[in-house]
């Protein structure tokens, strides 16, 4: 089985631990960097309280925060790497100091390490107050490699599907869909791939009947009538199909890199991220650059 290089975001939260478990089930032969982003104020509140000795010694306080915060970050990354090794992965810890902009940091890491895939939990990179729509969305928007977002929590049926369930690919005849199909074929060798086109008045180009370049058939579904953005309606149909097929994951292509456009207009890719109750991989178009 092919070995792939994977970056996994880890911050010690339950969501980031679930991302490790899900990733190990989906990509058992991967080489993995368990990555912790070390961000300001570079130490926990409890550490800062212990280190504070008064304003007169502020320089020593700052130096101590740097020293102890870095040590704490490295311990956390190593703890995540141990979890990953227990799950069967060949894993090593990686700590990066950043002053924010986690999405950009992961985009740069993916390029520097030539990673095949980035995996993040939907609440697993920014602490207890992060929500899908902030860090996870930005990682998807800025990373020029496929990104798998693992929701938290996963139900027992969704967890069971990870080991051997098929992979569902959203298809609309666009270059992004072609890229999604190619990435799924490469990253999920041996898995059953189900290509699904959800037809509707705004679907890109499935009416021409063109199959994926990699071959295979396309199953068609109709968008159910109702209210709300088209992207959400398509995402709901894809999610329903994934549940009925006990799919391990959903794969969708990205149409572009404009965060404002994708987040605010409710694209299929972003709507699937927000509404699918199982891991979703978003694949950028070939040669698409982060902005």
Return the pLDDT at 41.
62
Mean pLDDT of the chain: 80
Write down the pTM of the prediction. Answer: 0.82
Task: Check if the beta carbon of residue 144 is closer than 8 Å to that of residue 261.
Answer: no
Q: Position of tokens 């089930």?
A: 25
Strands 249-253 and 31-38: unpaired
Mean pLDDT in residue range 192-212: 63
Say what percent of the chain tops pLDDT 90. Answer: 43
Report the alpha-carbon distance of residue 273 to residue 277 in Å, rounded: 9
Give the model confidence (pLDDT) of 38-85 as tens digits.
876 666 667 767 766 665 677 777 777 778 888 888 999 999 999 999
Average pLDDT over residues 251-280: 69
138 vs 112 pLDDT, higher one: 112
DSSP element (H, E) containing 263:
helix 259-265
DSSP codes of every residue in 180-234: HHHHHHHHSTTS-EEEEEEE-TT-SSGGG-PPPTT----EEEEPPP-SS-HHHHH
**pLDDT tens, residue by residue, 77-131:** 999 999 999 999 999 999 998 877 788 899 899 999 999 999 999 864 443 334 4
Rounded distance, CA 278 to CA 272, Å?
10
pLDDT at site 53: 66
CA gap 202, 62 in Å, rounded: 55
Return phi, psi of residue 104, to 5°. -65, -35
Q: Virtual CA dihedral for 146, 285, 213, 195, nearest 10 degrees? A: 50
Tell me how far apart the alpha carbons of residues 1 and 118 are, in angstroms, rounded to a whole number: 19
Beta bridge partners of 168: 194, 250
What is the C-alpha to C-alpha distance for residues 120 and 202, in angstroms, rounded to an integer? 30
Which whole-number Å values give the CA distances from 263 to 68, 121, 133, 268, 273, in the listed order?
38, 18, 8, 10, 11
Q: What's residue 199's pLDDT? A: 65
Can you give the pLDDT at residue 54? 62
Which strands form 167-170's sheet, in the order they lie side by side? 90-97, 31-38, 5-9, 117-121, 147-150, 280-283, 249-253, 167-170, 193-199, 219-222
Instruction: Encode burial over 77-108: b for 16+ CB neighbours within 10 A, e otherwise.
Output: bbbbbebbbebebebebbbbeeeeebbbbbbb
């Amino acid at each position: 089985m092919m070995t792939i290089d994977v970056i996994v975001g880890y911050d010690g939260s339950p969501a980031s631990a679930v991302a490790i478990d899900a990733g190990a089930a989906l990509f058992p032969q991967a080489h993995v960097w368990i990555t912790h982003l070390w961000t300001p104020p570079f130490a926990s509140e409890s550490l800062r309280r212990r280190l504070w000795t008064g304003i007169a010694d502020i320089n020593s306080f700052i130096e101590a925060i740097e020293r102890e915060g870095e040590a704490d970050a490295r311990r956390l990354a190593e703890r995540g790497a141990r979890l990953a090794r227990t799950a069967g992965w060949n894993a090593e810890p990686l700590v990066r100091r950043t002053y924010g902009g986690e999405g950009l940091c992961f985009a740069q890491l993916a390029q520097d390490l030539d990673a095949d895939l980035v995996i993040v939990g939907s609440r697993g990179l920014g602490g207890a107050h992060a929500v899908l729509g902030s860090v996870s969305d930005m990682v998807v928007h800025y990373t020029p490699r496929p990104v798998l977002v693992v929701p938290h929590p996963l139900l027992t049926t969704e967890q069971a599907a990870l080991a051997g369930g098929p992979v569902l690919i959203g298809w609309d005849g666009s270059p992004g869909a072609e890229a999604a199909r190619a990435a799924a074929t490469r990253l999920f060798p041996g898995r059953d791939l189900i290509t699904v086109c959800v037809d509707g008045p705004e679907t890109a180009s499935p009416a021409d009947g063109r199959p994926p370049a990699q071959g295979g058939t396309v199953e068609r579904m109709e968008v159910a009538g109702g209210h709300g953005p088209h992207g959400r309606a398509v995402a709901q149909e894809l999610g329903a199909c994934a549940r009925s097929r006990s799919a391990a994951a959903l794969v969708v292509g990205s149409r572009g890199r404009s965060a404002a456009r994708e987040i605010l207009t409710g694209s299929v890719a972003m709507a699937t991220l927000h509404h699918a109750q199982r891991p979703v991989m978003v694949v950028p178009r070939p040669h698409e650059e982060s902005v």
